[in-house]
């Protein structure tokens, strides 16, 4: 018998609560994904408007790199899943039917990634980001794996909203900050550039990305140079 959405949700919630209520965390959220969905790693990227806010959690160095690349380059499965509000699946990153993500793909392949999947995180009309999954072998998700990932993305979105509900406006809740990487340095650097050049923060972030890509650097490293006044962008 095919599992219902309720059955899948109960299984995900049980995995998250394994060890008691105190075991709920962003790290736990990502950690249950590989076992439930049958992938090698997972990450959760939070976004707001056109601006990536950072990584809520990752399971390993490869998933962290996937999040870092997407944040730096502004392209990849999570970015597309969020903006398109639909699941993005690339079962064969090395030889895709439709070539995309020209900047993201080479370093991801070098890190051993062969398949990537992005699942939008939303509650009603509120979009929060995307769940990112990867495999080290080229393969598609089965129907059951796809359905499980949809439920995990939904559970993650609701947990983010509930965790943030009690925090003051414009302040990230302590519960969400634990183990997360919200790239505060990047946002600070974008703010500095915005003031210096009298442009929007979004445009400043685009310039940071462009500089990082052109110089083959991570955006977080470029941001630190901007903050320390070692680098100025014109």
**Cβ contact 93:138 at 8 Å:** yes
Residue 208 has pLDDT above 90, yes or no: no
Radius of gyration of the chain (CA): 18
| C-alpha–C-alpha distance, residues 67 and 90, integer Å | 16
pTM of the prediction?
0.78
User: pLDDT tens digits, residue range 85-143?
Assistant: 999 999 999 999 889 999 999 999 999 999 999 999 998 888 888 999 999 999 999 99
The fold for domain 184-227 equals: Arc Repressor Mutant, subunit A (1.10.10)
| C-alpha–C-alpha distance, residues 196 and 156, integer Å | 37
**Cβ contact 45:130 at 8 Å:** yes
Find where tokens 């060890």 sit: 19
Residue 46 has pLDDT above 70, yes or no: yes
Element (H, E) at 148: helix 143-164
Domain ranges, ordered by start, for the chain: 5-176, 184-227
**Cβ contact 176:163 at 8 Å:** yes
The fold for domain 5-176 equals: Beta-Lactamase (3.30.450)
Give the mean pLDDT of the chain: 82
User: pLDDT tens digits, residue range 154-200?
Assistant: 988 888 777 666 656 555 555 555 544 555 566 667 777 877 888 88
Give residues with Cβ within 8 angstroms of 195, minimum separation 6: none
| Most confident option among 8-17, 45-54, 223-232 | 8-17
Here the contacts of 176-179 (C-beta below 8 Å, separation 24 or greater) are: 176/26, 176/56, 178/25, 178/26, 178/27, 179/25, 179/26, 179/27, 179/57
């Amino acid at each position: 018998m095919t599992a219902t959405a309720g059955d899948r949700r109960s299984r995900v919630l049980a995995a998250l609560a394994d060890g008691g209520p105190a075991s709920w965390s962003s790290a736990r959220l990502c950690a249950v994904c590989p076992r439930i969905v049958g992938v090698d790693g997972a990450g959760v990227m939070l976004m707001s408007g056109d601006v990536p806010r950072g990584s809520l959690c990752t399971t390993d160095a490869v998933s962290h790199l996937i999040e870092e690349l997407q944040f730096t380059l502004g392209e990849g499965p999570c970015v597309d899943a969020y903006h398109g509000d639909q699941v993005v699946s690339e079962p064969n990153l090395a030889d895709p039917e439709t070539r995309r993500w020209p900047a993201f793909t080479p370093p991801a392949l070098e890190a051993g990634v062969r398949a990537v999947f992005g699942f939008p995180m939303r509650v009603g009309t509120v979009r929060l980001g995307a769940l990112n999954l990867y495999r080290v072998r080229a393969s598609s998700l089965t129907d059951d794996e796809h359905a499980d990932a949809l439920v995990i993305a939904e559970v993650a979105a609701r947990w983010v909203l509930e965790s943030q509900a009690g925090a003051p406006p414009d302040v990230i809740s302590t519960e969400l900050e634990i183990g997360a990487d919200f790239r505060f340095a990047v946002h600070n650097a974008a703010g500095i550039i915005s003031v210096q050049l009298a442009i929007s923060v979004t445009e400043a972030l685009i310039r940071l990305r462009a500089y990082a890509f052109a110089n083959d650097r991570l955006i977080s490293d470029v941001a630190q140079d901007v903050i320390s006044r070692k680098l100025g962008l014109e």
